Structure 1
């Protein structure tokens, strides 16, 4: 490593070299520490012609040195904008590869939610600051070609951390031309360097290859930015839990909130990190509004699932011939609608009202999102799933059920239950489950409701969902037998008789199971079995006349209750590894079964 004074002298004197390649070699050898950076910047500012000729070669040299932001800003202002932009995009591509490798290693080590190293985030912020300056400087006939290419690289390198997200927001505001003042800063806000806004634009050198811009370019660039922001929004909400559906459920059904327990809405009010998430999405939404995405018309909703291809973000913004070919990210567009609805309902914000219904629009969106592999889609895109449940909750609450009186209630309900099973967030699962119950009970056709319940109890593989189906059946029976209610499929004993073998299945096989098999069976089915025991107690002790078929009690005891009690007691006594909680659950099950008055 050269001596500091020798390095500074070499950097100053070497600038006099007529051979620029020789000077680059001098810089590569001497620019190795932050201490020389003021000298480098002094040389670059004093000799704009030198900076224009070698600026693009300096990007990689300077980017590896901490504190080189000022030098790189000078390169962006004085270097050949086309050449420097190529190097910035190469650096972003390399950054994306580094972040991907780092996250893969952290994931293999089972580390919690991997974040990019600080130097990666710092370089990302610096490069985006350069891009904002460079795009303003380039004067060409088709600037959208430069814009599309650079946005692809930004998207590929982006990770949804607060700092990197703030940098993306700064970039888009610079490129779109800010039409409104920034939102008031908050205690939890994230501020990152923004040289395009805070620097001196008068230092920008003119584009040496300037051309007159094509008249169609303004719309092309606006559409590219719209698509880009919706892609970033989709990635952000997939990585940062918003829990819109859970919070909206609290707003609509406050009676379901547990007394004494802090609500989700309170958590978001009190936690700075959670507040910041709402603020970030709000900034994305305001930018999209500035870019012309500000109505939720029927045509806008249809465009999400009729024209756009797939729910994955757009991977390539480079090969478009007209603005009409550029589409929004469907997942980002759904998230936008969810935020419009959520913030209007919860924060009383002024946002577009949705021109859509549960049928056909929301049902189509759900089906399209779930696709051929629902579990994978929900797990990989939890934010979109949350957004879709949020939209459904709101449309149902607004009584926007059907545009043409045609409904596919069973298929729609099935889609909701898939979210309730596979979503990684407990609060969203609960919201989806609750909403599925609301949809079920609100179907005016009692035979449809019975068909849905029968399908769940007979064919569902998930004990949690079967347990919920038992609860829904109980609610239907109570509603049907309520004083003044009209008679329907749930009024008499036929419904219980029809479903009894799904609710109270034959458990004789438990007699032949060893302790290990019993423990596995209990682990897989305990939620359902406990709920059935409670349902059995309800049926036989509720006093509802004519609901239980004659003679059913003895049959249920023989095939279901007696072998289940014997299996539970065998498990309690023969498996010392059972935890205290499991032992208590088994004891409660046995007590409940024995208390049923058959």
Structure 2
């Protein structure tokens, strides 16, 4: 390795050699941060040299700490079309490197911790902003599209990387907004295009007149790109839009003295940062012209092909109409418009949609056939979809629905309540499903939904919810003096075998099999026991029990279940919590007097 003084001398004097020789000299001498000021001085003073060799310097400089100033000079003076190509190669290398990196002890899978974010990504995006503004060609979208694809492939949804993406798009859009006031949730990264000296930018040596249709193409490309970023960021961070909306809509249900989710986001700096980043992305889309939610925008999300990777087909774009938004990003955008209006009091647009059919079709489109995998792999979209439904119901934007659509919609909501990885979102989905069920005006439809859950649902937690909702329907019919499906003994007659199934098979089970059975069904069995007490012992509900049902339930359900529960209390595999719950179950069933 050459001495520092020798390296500096070689960098200065070597510029007089031919370009190939000089590049060889640089490869040998540019190995440490100390020589970078000298190299930058040479590049800055010889624009012709930088134009010829700039693109060869990108990979060389990117690996050296403190090379940002030199790379900025390369971006301002190098041949913009050639340097852009090298930047795309560098971004592709980052994407591969990050994909292969093994991350240990990361709270959020798929997100690289802030401490590990390579500054290379931020530096490359700062260069891209300068370069794309320098390129003057007939079809600039043909450069912009591939660049955005490479940026998105290398992007990881951390605050700093998202801030650098926001800087890039603001620069490329050509819109200059006044600086926002600094907030606790603000994230700032270097932005050489806006903060540097644009007067140093060299002209494009191959400049052409831009096609008149290009402005619309570039705007739509940027809109599509930002919706992709929004989707990825929301999926990687628990925004908890639906639980927070539920707190705002139902303040009386908030437990006194316990910190709410809304308060946590207001007080915790990291949670504030999440809200701040999403807010910046939505503001960016508004600046790009996406500031309305008409019927056409809503319908585009669930009609026609599902464009899961809208940037992938950039080679086929011939007009702005060929470019599509990220459907998941569009859903997150609508959710945030509703959320920010109701939680922050923003002036967000009102979505032109209703629960039926718009939101029902949207929910069905996203969950598709692989419902569990879709919810677990895209938790942010599932939360956003739920938030939209809550907001529409709160605004009474429901409209009538066909019976089949109502049942399918309710089914999809209950799947979120089962499969979403966050318990607070699951609880919000359960609450909304119950509200929607009770608000359905047709009591036949309500009963059919409950019957379907009790007979066909494989999840004990949902069947337990169905039992709770049935009890609420019976109580409402009694209190409001209604004459409907829930006010006569017919409802118990119809549902008795779903509520109180034949449990005689438990007598043949081994202790181990009983332990497994209890683990899978305890939520439902405990809820049914409570419902049975309400039904058979309640002064106002005993009239709903048809003649002979009590004795039949005692024989086929209560007796074998009590016997199995008493065996389980002594079984080796039972935990202390299990034994306590089993004791409660036995006491409640014995109190019925049906044995």
Indicate the residue corresponding to 2:428 in structure 1: 431
Indicate the residue corresponding to 1:562 in structure 2: 559
Q: Once structures 1 and 2 are overlaid, which stretch shifts more, 377-386 or 395-404?
A: 395-404
Matches within 5 A, 1:454-493: 454-482=451-479, 484-493=480-489
In the superposition, relative to structure 1, how do residues 423 and 404 fare at CA in structure 2: closer, same or farther (>3 Å)? closer
Indicate the residue corresponding to 1:504 in structure 2: 500
Indicate the residue corresponding to 2:447 in structure 1: 450
Question: CA contact under 8 A between 1:541 and 1:597: conserved in structure 2?
Answer: no
Q: Does 1:574 align with 2:538?
A: no
Taking the aligned partners of 1:276 and 1:228, their CA distance within structure 2 comes to: 21
Question: CA contact under 8 A between 1:358 and 1:395: conserved in structure 2?
Answer: yes
Indicate the residue corresponding to 2:517 in structure 1: 521
Q: Give, in angstroms, the shift of residue 508 of structure 1.
A: 1.6
Normalised to the residue count of structure 1, the TM-score between the two structures is: 0.96
Taking the aligned partners of 1:406 and 1:421, their CA distance within structure 2 comes to: 23
SS in 1 for 2:126: helix
Q: Give, in angstroms, the shift of residue 406 of structure 1.
A: 8.3
Indicate the residue corresponding to 1:350 in structure 2: 347
Q: Once structures 1 and 2 are overlaid, which stretch shifts more, 288-297 or 176-185?
A: 176-185
Q: Does 1:153 align with 2:153?
A: no
Normalised to the residue count of structure 2, the TM-score between the two structures is: 0.96
Taking the aligned partners of 1:554 and 1:314, their CA distance within structure 2 comes to: 65
Q: Give, in angstroms, the shift of residue 521 of structure 1.
A: 0.9
SS in 2 for 1:408: helix
In the superposition, relative to structure 1, how do residues 3 and 119 fare at CA in structure 2: closer, same or farther (>3 Å)? farther
Question: CA contact under 8 A between 1:359 and 1:406: conserved in structure 2?
Answer: no
Question: CA contact under 8 A between 1:537 and 1:597: conserved in structure 2?
Answer: no
Indicate the residue corresponding to 1:258 in structure 2: 255
Indicate the residue corresponding to 1:45 in structure 2: 44
Indicate the residue corresponding to 1:139 in structure 2: 136
RMSD of the alignment, in Å? 1.8
Question: CA contact under 8 A between 2:110 and 2:236: conserved in structure 1?
Answer: no
Q: Does 1:6 align with 2:6?
A: yes
Indicate the residue corresponding to 1:17 in structure 2: 17
Q: Does 1:530 align with 2:526?
A: yes
Q: Give, in angstroms, the shift of residue 381 of structure 1.
A: 1.1
Indicate the residue corresponding to 1:78 in structure 2: 77
Taking the aligned partners of 1:291 and 1:17, their CA distance within structure 2 comes to: 47
Indicate the residue corresponding to 1:286 in structure 2: 283
Q: Once structures 1 and 2 are overlaid, which stretch shifts more, 252-261 or 116-125?
A: 116-125
Q: Once structures 1 and 2 are overlaid, which stretch shifts more, 36-45 or 204-213?
A: 36-45
Q: Give, in angstroms, the shift of residue 298 of structure 1.
A: 1.0
Indicate the residue corresponding to 2:190 in structure 1: 193
SS in 2 for 1:15: helix
Indicate the residue corresponding to 1:214 in structure 2: 211
In the superposition, relative to structure 1, how do residues 311 and 385 fare at CA in structure 2: closer, same or farther (>3 Å)? farther
Q: Does 1:241 align with 2:267?
A: no
Corresponding pairs, count: 592
Q: Give, in angstroms, the shift of residue 312 of structure 1.
A: 4.8
In the superposition, relative to structure 1, how do residues 196 and 110 fare at CA in structure 2: closer, same or farther (>3 Å)? closer
Q: Does 1:326 align with 2:326?
A: no
Q: Does 1:299 align with 2:296?
A: yes
Indicate the residue corresponding to 1:68 in structure 2: 67
Q: Does 1:592 align with 2:591?
A: no
Q: Once structures 1 and 2 are overlaid, which stretch shifts more, 230-239 or 554-563?
A: 554-563
Matches within 5 A, 1:175-190: 175-190=172-187
Deviations 1:47-70 (A, max 9, x none): 111111110010000001111111
In the superposition, relative to structure 1, how do residues 139 and 360 fare at CA in structure 2: closer, same or farther (>3 Å)? same
Deviations 1:10-37 (A, max 9, x none): 222221212x112111211222221221
Taking the aligned partners of 2:295 and 2:485, their CA distance within structure 1 comes to: 37
Question: CA contact under 8 A between 1:41 and 1:71: conserved in structure 2?
Answer: yes
In the superposition, relative to structure 1, how do residues 343 and 271 fare at CA in structure 2: closer, same or farther (>3 Å)? same
Deviations 1:304-346 (A, max 9, x none): 2224534455434343001111111111111111111111111
Q: Does 1:410 align with 2:407?
A: yes
Deviations 1:151-190 (A, max 9, x none): 0000111010011000001111111123432322112321
Taking the aligned partners of 1:7 and 1:579, their CA distance within structure 2 comes to: 72
Indicate the residue corresponding to 1:127 in structure 2: 124
